[in-house]
Amino acid sequence: MAGHPGSDRLGGPGSIEAILGWVIAHEAPNMIPLPLLGETTEAPESPETASRLRDRLSRTMLKTVGEYQLIKEGDRILVAVSGGKDSYTMLELLWEARKKAPVDFELVAVHLDQGQPGYDGRALAAWLKALEVPHEIVHEDTYSIVLEQARDNATYCAPCSRLRRGILYSSAERHRCNKLALGHHRDDALETLFMNLLYAGRLQAMPARYRTNDGRFEVIRPLLECAEDDLARHAANERYPIIPCNLCGAQSGLKRDRAAELLATLEREIPNVRNIMLSALKNVRPSHLLDVEVAEAWEASAHKYPARK
């Protein structure tokens, strides 16, 4: 472990950062008023500078944190760092936000070395140490197990995800964490929506937070409204030491790849389609769906909410 949680918290409930954070959180009850990083009122430039892109990603992330109440006073959060662009960004932005947040919460970064051929985690370890975030690198050969379980052309994703989650849950328990942060972004959510809609017959995407089946942890996705292209450009600007995955990129013809292609095709005709679809996920009309359980639940609860146009 490196660093010391809670040792560098700045600002306070009356600071300008806290006030701006409340704006982001819409002053809703129990939402955490996190600060904005580098907020500015100047007109945007074109092309967007690295610092402005970073600020925009931070604003988007913190808006999600506030709107969905992802972080609360006293939380101890395990941040899963895969070695990819998304988790690097999530950890760094959360770590910077924590320094000025008017509430106390702690972060512990955990990276899983899955025993993949050619793996070299030295640059990632050095980056974590330089960030001074408490961290652990767990070594487990899940690579061989996944290859064994995914015979007969089965996809690697399902067994790999199950194994990784199990190890992360054990790590969260060991580090006394009550929450687990994953780096899924807007495009992940939309691809999942397409996959479930087209291949599984389910209207399901990704929630910003949910509780594990055993009730031990809450899983949160702070980057869920951030665009993948923005995250990729930010990662290139920051020169994160990306660790490639020999499992995810080793198979072709995956349903997720097809869903990504469909999104790209749609965006050529409707330039803002990803944001439109994200808005649709937040603007559901339960009364106009065909699920009987949803209809019954909505009928019992509709009186609690104002009518929508």
pLDDT of 168 over the 90 cut? yes
Query: With bands split at pLDDT 50, 70 and 90, how would you rate the model's confidence at 159?
Result: confident
41-67 pLDDT, tens per residue? 444 556 899 999 999 999 999 999 999
Provide the residue type at 12 as one letter: G
* CATH number listed for the domain at residues 16-269: 3.40.50.620
Residue 211 pairs with which residues in a beta bridge? 218
Report which of 68, 80, 91, 37 is spatially closest to residue 177, judged by C-alpha positions.
80
CB distance 68 to 208 below 8 Å: yes
Query: With bands split at pLDDT 50, 70 and 90, how would you rate the model's confidence at 19?
Result: very low
Query: With bands split at pLDDT 50, 70 and 90, how would you rate the model's confidence at 173?
Result: very high
pLDDT of residue 28: 44
pLDDT of 32 over the 60 cut? no
pLDDT of residue 204: 96
pLDDT of residue 29: 43
Angle formed at CA 105 by CA 103 and CA 189, multiple of 5 degrees: 105
User: Residue ranges of the domains in the chain?
Assistant: 16-269
Query: With bands split at pLDDT 50, 70 and 90, how would you rate the model's confidence at 36?
Result: low
pLDDT of residue 2: 41
pLDDT of 10 over the 50 cut? no
CB distance 2 to 95 below 8 Å: no
236-294 pLDDT, tens per residue? 999 999 998 766 655 556 888 899 999 999 999 999 999 999 999 999 999 999 999 99
pLDDT of 174 over the 90 cut? yes
Helix (H, G, I), strand (E, B) or coil at 17: helix
- The phi, psi pair for 256, rounded to 5°, reads -65, -40
Provide the residue type at 207 as one letter: P
Lowest-pLDDT range, 40-49, 53-62, 117-126, 211-220?
Answer: 40-49
Euclidean distance between CA atoms 72 and 58, whole angstroms: 18
